[in-house]
Amino acid sequence: MARSRVSLPGRRRLASALGVGVLAGSLALAGCSSGSAKGGGTIPPVNTGGAGGGSTASASASASGGGSAGASGAASVGAVSAESLSDPDLGYTVVSIPKDLDATQTKVLQDYVTYDKATWRLWSTREGLEEALARSTGTTREDIQRSYEKMTAYDTPPVKVGVGGVDISQDEQSVDVTVCSDRTQMRATDFQGNDVTQKSTQNRVALLVHMVPRDDGTWVTESETKTSINECTAEAGQ
């Protein structure tokens, strides 16, 4: 389903990495998760024309559980579930995923979450740069490297993530992933251990993540575009 979107410069975590907490908005609002789009710091997304609408998966129901078949916490896509994609040690919780994904969409979902967790790990611990770079390409990859070099604070989860759709282009050479990243509980701490959290970075960011395939079949993130701030919910994924 086509949806209007506002392309906003900057991704979630870049801001923190630059020591300013967050880019004033993934809607020009404030920082981005992984590469920089994380709550406090965010990687500025490269604005790209969204991939044309191939197959789109609707967001699963809420994470609170319940019993809806598409519901996140319990929702599963084959062997993949919101729970299996989460990482409690990192403070990274997937609360909703689309249902009825085909094999390609499921692979994209897994690769996106792997990328997102790698960037959150980088911004929260300053470890795992190689993994974050390996899971990205183009301007996003360059921004991760640049943001890492300029880091002055850690963006610390918890963070809740909802994936609302996986939209494959007609030529199957790119995918747009619709995401809501809830960083309302995220904190920022400088290297001396001081709390430097900015209220503006504790928000819910809707993202359109553009991914492309590598030669080995792994989907990597090429750009992230913030489409709204504090309008999405992780439970709905959008």
Residue 48, pLDDT score: 33
The overall pTM is greater than 0.75: no
Question: Is residue 54 in some structural domain?
Answer: yes
Query: Are residues 159 and 16 in contact, defined by beta-carbon separation less than 8 angstroms?
Result: no
Question: Is residue 237 in some structural domain?
Answer: no
Rounded distance, CA 115 to CA 121, Å? 10
Sign of CA dihedral 43, 216, 55, 112: negative
Return phi, psi of residue 146, to 5°. Answer: -65, -40
Sign of CA dihedral 64, 65, 68, 72: positive
CB atoms within 10 A of CB 100: 12
Q: What range defines the domain where residue 96 resides?
A: 14-229
CATH number, position 24:
3.10.450.50
Helix spans in the chain (H): 14-17, 82-85, 103-125, 129-134, 138-149
Would you say how long the chain is, in residues? Answer: 238
> Can you say how many angstroms the Cα of residue 93 is from the centroid of all Cα atoms in its chain?
12
pLDDT tens string for the chain (238 positions)?
333 333 333 333 433 333 333 333 333 333 343 334 443 333 333 333 333 344 444 333 333 333 333 333 334 445 899 999 999 999 999 999 999 999 999 999 999 999 999 999 999 999 999 999 999 999 999 999 999 999 999 998 999 999 999 999 999 999 999 999 999 999 999 999 999 999 999 999 999 999 999 999 999 999 999 999 999 999 998 8
Question: Is residue 163 in some structural domain?
Answer: yes
Question: Is residue 4 in some structural domain?
Answer: no
Rounded distance, CA 20 to CA 109, Å? 31
**DSSP code of residue 199:** G
β-strand partners of 156: 187
| 6, 42, 45, 181, 238 from 28: Cα distances, Å | 10, 11, 11, 15, 18
* Residue 209: HSE in the Cβ half-sphere, 13 Å Cα cutoff: 39
Residue 82, pLDDT score: 96
Could you give the number of structural domains in the chain?
1
Residue 1, pLDDT score: 37
Question: Is residue 8 in some structural domain?
Answer: no
* 3-class secondary-structure state, position 153: strand
* 3-class secondary-structure state, position 3: coil
Question: Is residue 60 in some structural domain?
Answer: yes
β-strand partners of 187: 156
Residue 79, pLDDT score: 80
